[in-house]
């Protein structure tokens, strides 16, 4: 654990989910490969699209509708709809195809187990702190067994713009009913989580499992209050510490 600012105890915590409580990288890679197999099995014409073409279609749907930025599920749905249209489907069938594809992806995207140490840490913290999750992702926290530890789960899209925008932080602060200075946000991303939290007035805990120091991180722009390398280190940050 490393402190960058003089520590003052907090009264509540908010948590990022992806890559903070579990390794989301491997989960997404697996789910995306399964989705690609699903798409090609149901529409063989999609085998002609390589990675670069899929990325170009993703950029195209965002350029068409910049309001999609930060809404990962909507971007994926629009991307697949565009691909289906290029494969000859009419608008109605392309939309239905994309809806089915996204439903398949969301199922596989949450088809994994959260490490036990994350559950153990959340269980211990929940005895002393109200906890809220705020995520830019689309994981099913209920299915993963995470929801019982959080008073609420706020997600980008349904609940507001994606971090580092302040919308989700504001909702969390309002739900907790505490001054922002009394809330610690825990997350892995230096822009979405640390910068977002500090601009919202929260304290920020950077979860760093990269083995790279802050000075070598591409998105470093605002100092966190504290850095941890293992989620269990949060247990030493008590109200009286």
Catalytic pick among 16, 18, 19, 225: 16
Instruction: Using CB atoms within 10 Å of the CB of residue 225, give its burial: 0 to 12 exposed, 13 to 18 middle, 19+ buried.
Output: buried
Q: Could you tell me where the beta strands, DSSP code E, fall in the chain?
A: 2-3, 12-15, 131-135, 152-155, 183-187, 203-207, 226-228
37 as an active site residue: the answer is no
Pick from 152, 195, 146, 142: which is nearest to 172 by CA?
152
Cα 212 to chain centroid distance, Å, stands at 21
| C-beta of residue 10 within 8 angstroms of C-beta of residue 204 | no
The residues carrying an active-site annotation are: 16
């Amino acid at each position: 654990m490393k402190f960058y600012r003089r520590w003052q105890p907090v009264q509540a915590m908010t948590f990022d989910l992806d890559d903070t409580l579990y390794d989301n990288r491997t989960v997404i890679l697996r789910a995306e490969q399964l989705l690609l197999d699903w798409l090609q099995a149901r529409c063989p014409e999609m085998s002609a699209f390589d990675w670069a073409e899929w990325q170009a279609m993703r950029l195209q749907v965002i350029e068409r509708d910049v309001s999609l930025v930060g809404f990962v599920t909507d971007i994926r749905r629009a991307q697949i709809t565009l691909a289906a249209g290029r494969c000859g489907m009419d608008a109605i069938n392309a939309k239905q195809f994309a809806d089915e594809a996204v439903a398949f992806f969301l199922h596989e995207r949450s088809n994994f187990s959260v490490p036990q140490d994350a559950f153990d840490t959340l269980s211990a913290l929940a005895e002393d702190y109200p906890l809220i999750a705020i995520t830019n992702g689309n994981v099913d926290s209920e299915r993963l067994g995470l929801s019982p530890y959080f008073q609420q789960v706020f997600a980008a899209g349904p609940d507001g713009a994606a971090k580092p925008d302040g919308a989700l932080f504001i909702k969390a602060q309002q739900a907790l009913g505490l001054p922002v200075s009394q809330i610690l946000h825990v997350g892995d991303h230096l822009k979405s989580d640390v910068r977002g939290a500090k601009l919202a007035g929260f304290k920020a805990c950077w979860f760093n499992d990269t083995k790279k120091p802050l000075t070598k991180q591409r998105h470093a722009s605002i100092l966190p209050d504290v850095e941890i390398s293992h989620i269990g280190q949060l247990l030493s940050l008590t109200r009286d510490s």
